[in-house]
Structures are given as C-alpha cells and as structure tokens.
Chains A and B, each alone.
Chain A
Amino acid sequence: MLEQIDLSTVNWARAQFALTAMYHWLFVPLTLGLTFLCAFFETIYVKTGKEEWKELTKFWMKLFGINFAIGVATGIILEFEFGTNWANYSWMVGDIFGAPLAIEGIVAFFLEATFFAVMFFGWNRVSKGFHLLSTWMVAIGSNLSALWILVANGWMQFPTGMAFNPDTARFEMKNFFEVVLSPYAISKFTHATTSGFALSSFFVIAVASYYLARQRHVLMAKRSIAVASVFGLVASLMLAFTGDEAAYVDAQHQPMKLAAMEGLWDGSYNAPVVAFGIVNGMKEPGDFQDPFVVEFKVPGLLSLLANRQSGSFVPGINDLVFGNKEQGIMGVTEMIERGKLAVKYLDEYKKAKKQGDMSAASSALAQFNKYKDFLGYGHLNTPKEAVPPVSITFYSFHIMAAVGTAMIAIFILFLFHSIRGTLERATWLYPIGIIFFVLAFMAGEAGWVVAEVGRQPWAIQGLLPVSVARTDIAPVNVKLTFFMFLVTFTLLLIAEIRIMLKQIQLGPKEVK
C-alpha cells in the first residue's frame, strides 16, 4: 500500500505531535477550569453586589486571558497538523474524524470567541446579568470544545460506528451517535475536563497561598481558596471516579495499553496492581527477564479494576503478542498474517477493478472481506511493533495516579482550614498548595502520555498504524517545523510565565 516507508518522517511527525499536544495541554486545563471558577466568582458578585467580589473576579479573569491567548496559539496548530503531517490519516479517516472538528468550531469556538470579548471588555457596555451570562458562555464554550476534540480522540482509541470502503480506500462513518456516545468519548471527556478543574483549583490555591504567605490581599485569597477548594475537591473525586472508568474501558478495548500501564508481561488470574516499581527497560516480548527491578504489588487489585470481577484473568503483553488459546486471545503474529492477506487482496481488488476484470475483482473483494478487520496489522512487520514503550507508559501512569489520589487529601486540608477559618495560621499548607499546582501539571501531561504513547503504534487503534497515517514528505521538512514550533512555543511560554508572575505580583485591585 505504501512502498517506501520512511520511518524518520514518522518519528519526527510523532515528536511534533507530542510537542504541540503537550504544549497545548499546558494551557488548556487552566482554561477549562479557571473559566468556571471565574463564573462562580462573578455569580457570587452578582448575588451579593459586593465590589470586592467583582475585583476578585476581574483579577482571575486577567490571568485567565493571558493563559487563554497562548492556548489558542498552540491549539490552531494541532487542528491543521492532522493535515500537514498526517495527510494519509486525514484522507483515510477524514470522513469520521473531520466531523467532530467541524462541530467543535460551530458549537464551541464561536461561543468562546464571541463572549470572550464581552467578558473582558463588556463590564461597562452590557448589563450585569448579560455580563455574567457571557462569562458562563465562555466556560460552557471552552468545555464544549473539549467535548468535541475528545470525541475525536476517543474515536482514535476506540474506532466505532464506521466501516472500511475498499473503493475509496477509506473508513466511512455509519453511525454518528456511536462515535459521539462511545464509552471512550465519554471517559476521555469526563476525565480530561475534571483534571482541568482540579488543576485550575490548584492554580487559584497556589496564587492565593502565595498572597497569604506574604500577608497580602488576605481576604481575597481566603475567599478564592474557599471556592477553589470546594470545586477542587468535587473535581478530584470525579477525577478518581472517571479515572477508574478510563482504566476499565482500556481493559476492554486497549488491553495492550493496560498491560503496559501496569508492566504486566504475563497475564494472570488475580492480577496485581504494582503500587510502586522500577521497570526493567531491557525486557522484550517472549524473553524470561524479570519485568521489574523492584516492585511492591497489591495482589488481585488489577483484576478487580480491569474487569470489575475479583480474581478474573487480565492478559499481559506476552499473551497479546503471542496469543493465548486458553483465554481465546489471538496473538499479534496471527493478526499480522491475516492483515497481510487483507492488504494483498485489497491490492488485487484495486488492480482487477482498474483492468475492468469484474469477476476477479469480486473474488478478491470476498477474500478481502474475510480479513479486513486485520487490515491495520498488515502494515506491521514484527509482533514487537505492536508493543508500546512500556517504561514510559508505566511511569506516566503511576505518576498520574499517585498525584491524582493525593490531590483529594490536599483539597480536603484546604477546605477544612477554610471552613474552620484557620487558613491564616496553617502556614505549612501554603507550600504544599504551590507544589501541588506543579504536580497537577505533571499529572495531566503524564495522563496524555499514557493515553497516546500507550496506544502506539496506532494512529487509529488496530486499524491504522502511524507509519501509514503520515504524509509523504521528506523528513527534513518535518524536522525543521518541529524546531520552529519548539523555539516559538518555548519563547511564548517564557513570555506567558513572566507576564503571569508580574500580574500575580501586582495583585488584584483593593477595594477601599
């Protein structure tokens, strides 16, 4: 299908996607959550009519705006990168994948873009009520945009509601609702947005803690923490719940990812969760090396989390690569064989059709249909290629899970002192708030690493490997744009952080 596969183009394109996505995710979670926090703050202002709440709202809005601008800058590149670096992907799945992106523009981006101007510049131009409505619209708009892009991402993880059309050589949508309501779409959306809410709550808590430590803007800081710790606690509980759901859908549809997340090489009944471990990075499928240098296991927990059934069987990487007859698991080796047949018969079908030999075409098509579910595997050459980088996936998952769990306790602490009115005395808590803001960033990025690295080599799980999805372009082009983006985004990030710190230093306007 693709004769001259140039791996270095693929790898630069992957690196570029990772770069732009990770930069984008530095700003998006803050947008997702801070906009709701601004909406809460402004609602309190409108309800109470107190000017302090208005100034408090305006202060957080200013920080929101600084972050929002760079989020937009990094976001546009992601949408168009599907075209520039992944042209074959864009054609082969554009019939399904394009729709959520277009819907995102229609229903979400315009809400944000339109009401953003009111939120910032409309204080004296529209009524109080309409201003509040605008702030809520920005919050809803940004989260709706997350919904649609995560529907698109969810579909890449779990392609559903579509069929392959051999005449056009692409996948075509058959059921819109299956795409939108797939368990992955829901799980991605709820998990990613709640992580944004938690991170934003830590942002507010971190800045407010800084003020408390300096004994500046004390009332404003305490009020901000009160709202943020409630929002953060609710979000972090939801985050744990949706995280459990995410692992469950992975177990059902992306067992290889789950196995990599837990470093599980050999499947077993009563499979353990590795609470802490150092991975043996040299281990390969089929060898007899120990998967871990050190590990602490909680027996049986993985079976429970993955299948919601204690003692159940969870397949490991080796089961998935080599197959496990007893468990009814077909190995990658066999899938590749079938996939190669699918590729071959598709090619024959195309040739016969071109030559006008309809009987040959229909018999090739019949053969192709037998193997079409394995088409993606036909582009892999060795079973090893189907295994994602285990160490990166394992560590990322464990960092994310550990920070995510600890978050709940930290929010409880802040909320506790907030309710008791003892925040000013709990000085030991301030640095923890600030550290957790940084940790929450790491956890969020790690989460995306799990989601995306953990499903390599697939652009579309099981159907389209990245090596086929790429653009036919010399690697030097992609390499060059990689460094262009790296330099640009890094400089803009430095500018953003400096502006942000300056504004935090200046602080909100004090109401006399």
Chain B
Amino acid sequence: MFGNLDLETLQKLWWLLASVVGSLFLFLTFVQGGQTLIWQLGKTEREKSLIINSIGRKWELTFTTLVLFGGALFAAFPKFYATSFGGAYWVWIAILFTFIVQAVSFEYRKKPGNLFGPLVYEAFLFINGAVGILLIGTAVGTFFTGSNFVLNEYNLVSWTNPLRGLEAANNIFNISLGLFLVFNARVLGALYLLNNIDFTGMDNFKKRTRNAVLANFIAALPFLLVVLIGLLTMDGYGVDPATGTIFIVPFKYLKNLIEMPMVLVILLAGLGLVIFSVYIAWFQNKDHGIWFGGLGTVLVGLAVFFTAGYNNTAFYPSKADIQSSLTIFNASSSHYTLTAMTYVALIIPVVLAYIAYVWKQMDSKKLRAEELEGPEAQENY
C-alpha cells in the first residue's frame, strides 16, 4: 500500500507527522505553563495542591509526546537528530535536564523523606516550565535563523561555535519565540486549570487564575509580534529540488505563506482561536477556553513547522556552510524505513482515541479539594 508512494511523498508525510506530534506537544505544554503558575496562583497549600494535582495527572502525556517527537525525528530524519543533538549539544542537554528533574517532582514533592523538601521540587517544576520551554522555543527558532555546523562528505557533523547551540539564545527572533511559547504555555496552563478544577468556595483563587489568562496573553503579544515580523521579513533558505543546492531567498517565509495559502489560513485560524480562548475566558467568564486555546496552539505549531519544512525550504539551515543545511529531502531515512514506519503510524489514531477516551473518563468530574485532603482524600501528589 505505502510501498508504492515515492520517496518525496513519504518525506512530506513524515514531516507532517513530526509536525503534528510537535504541535500536540506545544498544546500539552499547558502542564509546563501550569508548573510556572504554582507559586503565583496557589496562595494556600490547598490551592497549590489543586494546581499540582490537576496538571500532575497529565504531565506524563506531555513528557511522552516530547519523547515521541524526538523518536519520530530520529526514525524519519536521522540526519537532523545526529546534527542537532550532537551539534547543539548544550541546548539539548539543558532541555533534557529540566525534564529529568520534572519527572520526579510531582511524585516526590510531598512524600516524606524526599531529601530536598517540597520547595525544591516546586522550583524544579518552575525551571522545567520556564527554562525548558524557553530553550525549546529557542531551538525551534534556529529552524529559521540557522545554526553553526558543517557536514563532511560522510554526513558527519562538526559544530563551529564553541557554545554548542547556546549561541542560539543570542538572537532576538529565537529568544522571542521561546518567550512567546513560555507565555503561551502559561495562558494554556491557566485555561486548563479553569476548566479542570472545581473552584467552589474559592472565588479569589478562580479570579487569580482567570486574570493569569489575560495577563500572560498580554505578556506574550510583544514576543509574538517580534516573531511574526521577523518571520515575514527575514531571508530564508531555499532548496532547488532538482539539484539539492541550497540558496538564500529573500522573504522566503513570507513567500512560503503566500505560496501555501492553506498554511497561512492555518496560522491565522490558530492565532484567532488562541485569542478567542482568552476572550471567552476573560470577557465571558467561560471555563472551557482550553479547548480553543489548545487547538489554536496546535494550528500555530503546524503552520510554523510547515513554513520551516515545506515549499522547498531547508528546515535546519547552516549559517556556517549553507550547503550543509538540512532539508526534508536530504535528511530523511530511506524509502524502505519511511514505508515501514508509515505502516506503524496507522496505529496513531487508535492511540489518540484511547487517550481521548481516558481523558474524558478522568476529567468528566472536576477536581475537588476534598479529594486531596480530609477523610475522603484519595491518592494524590
């Protein structure tokens, strides 16, 4: 069935699948956003507990989605995996570190004997939510602004900047994208909490959460603006599909959006949905904004990844040696592997279906404070 597809179609398909996973991850960063809100919104132990237990039941989904994003890129675009992880060493190590400490923090924070005390684990969660997402955004920024590497004739990578990837932070576009993602995650986090927690008798807590939606959205706007203006005005890296030669194209990403109007529609729809989610949460006092904000984030993510990789664009450009830049054509796995993986991908709808089903089962009743403390308390973080 898929064996008849040509290599180019498979490469495009796998860029689509990787983009979907990456974009779903961005939606699921409501967990990380929530982690940065623990201290700000949780004024009492009970409120803190509610926040942590609300997002704590989803952290593994986010974590797993990130791992799958890495795994899918490894399987489908191994040259990117080798070049970026081996090259931009310190960025990835820093990101991984924030996820290592996250993984134990929910479970260990309140347990007796945890060595550091709850505050340290809360700090771990904050670092993961703030620094982790900032760095991920910065790394995604290099999809447009480029990195410093050279590939030799055996496709083996040498990084030409001693900061090994951290130099990406010295770029206003990359940093703005990172900060936009951090504040967007905080918007999503607050929206998720609004929808997931039963705020009965805690009006102030709910008000704080609602305020956080608007405040973080406003904080995100200037960074979004920098990113959008940057994206629409910067030169980009195009590839000649016939020869594989990479060259600078003025206004490449603006051209991509014009030449792929669907992507432009997706981008605008995504941004519109995020704005709509804030609108209904703040102006209409609705609690279910997360669904619009989440879908909006997924769409914005898709638009970003599509702009980076489709329309004969180098998605991981090299500033040091432009011909070393990676495209979905030169970085991909073989026809055989992509075909085999496409068969495996058939199971993805099943996975999404059971996740959605379990999500519904678990979240149909809102989280009440009584579940966390007192005589009817259940297992909790």
Contact = CB atoms under 8 A, between A and B. Distances in A.
A121 B380 contact: yes
A58 to B, nearest CB: 7
Interface string A41-59: 0000000000000000010
A381 B359 CA distance: 57
A91 B334 contact: no
Interface in B117-145: none
A452 interface: no
B337 A471 contact: no
Chain B CB within 10 Å, residue with most, of A115, A168, A472:
A472
Contacts of A118: 358, 361-362
B97 A488 contact: yes
Given A91-B82, A106-B348, A502-B111, A125 B361 contact: yes
Interface stretch (B155-163, B224-232, B255-263): B155-163
A470 to B, nearest CB: 9
Interface string B101-114: 10110111001111
A354 interface: yes
Given A116-B60, A118-B361, 11 more contacts: A76-B103, A79-B67, A87-B156, A94-B78, A94-B333, A95-B334, A106-B68, A125-B361, A172-B334, A495-B113, A498-B113
Interface string B90-104: 101100110111011
Interface of B: 53, 57-58, 60-61, 63-64, 67-68, 70-72, 74-76, 78-79, 81-87, 89-90, 92-93, 96-97, 99-101, 103-104, 106-108, 111-116, 153-159, 164, 333-334, 336-337, 340-341, 344-345, 347-348, 351, 354-355, 358, 361-362, 364-365, 371, 378-380
Contacts of B111: 66, 499, 502-503
Contacts, number: 258
A121 B362 contact: yes
B104 A106 contact: no
By DSSP majority rule, is chain A's interface helix, strand, loop, or mixed?
Answer: helix
Interface string A101-138: 11111110110111111101111111000100010000
Given A106-B347, A109-B67, A121-B379, A72 B78 contact: no
Given A69-B108, A77-B96, A109-B68, A84 B358 contact: no
B334 A173 contact: yes
Contact of B340 (A104, A110, A125, A173): A173
A49 to B, nearest CB: 20
A169 interface: yes
Contacts of B100: 73-74, 76-77, 488, 492
A123 B379 contact: yes
A350 interface: yes
Contact of B112 (A70, A168, A172, A499): A499
Contact of A76 (B63, B85, B333): B63
Given A83-B81, A502-B112, A173 B63 contact: no
Contact of A90 (B53, B82, B107, B355): B82
Nearest to A161: B336
Chain B CB within 10 Å, residue with most, of A73, A85, A94, A477:
A94
Given A106-B348, A471-B89, A125 B362 contact: yes
A73 B104 contact: yes
B226 to A, nearest CB: 29
Contacts of B334: 95, 165, 172-173
A109 B64 contact: yes
Contacts of B108: 66, 69, 495-496, 499
Interface residues of A, number: 85
Nearest to A1: B154
A31 to B, nearest CB: 13
Contacts of B87: 87
Contacts of A134: 358
Contact of B337 (A80, A121, A172, A484): A172
A58 B58 CA distance: 20
A90 B60 contact: no
Chain B CB within 10 Å, residue with most, of A113, A115, A165:
A113
A102 B344 contact: yes
Contacts of A506: 112
Contacts of A498: 113-115
A197 B60 CA distance: 24
A438 interface: no
Nearest to B72: A102
Nearest to A477: B89
A282 interface: no
B51 to A, nearest CB: 15
Nearest to A171: B334
B113 A83 contact: no
A281 B85 CA distance: 38
A165 B336 CA distance: 13
Given A98-B75, A169-B154, A173-B334, A117 B345 contact: no
Nearest to B380: A121
A174 B71 contact: no
A106 B84 contact: no
Contacts of A294: none
A275 interface: no
A350 B106 CA distance: 53
Chain B CB within 10 Å, residue with most, of A58, A109, A503:
A109
Contacts of B74: 82-83, 90, 94, 97-98, 101-102
Q: Which 5 A-B pairs have the closest CB atoms?
A: A87-B86, A94-B78, A83-B85, A98-B75, A105-B68
A88 B104 contact: no
Contacts of B379: 58, 62, 120-121, 123
Nearest to B359: A114
B82 A94 contact: yes
A453 to B, nearest CB: 24
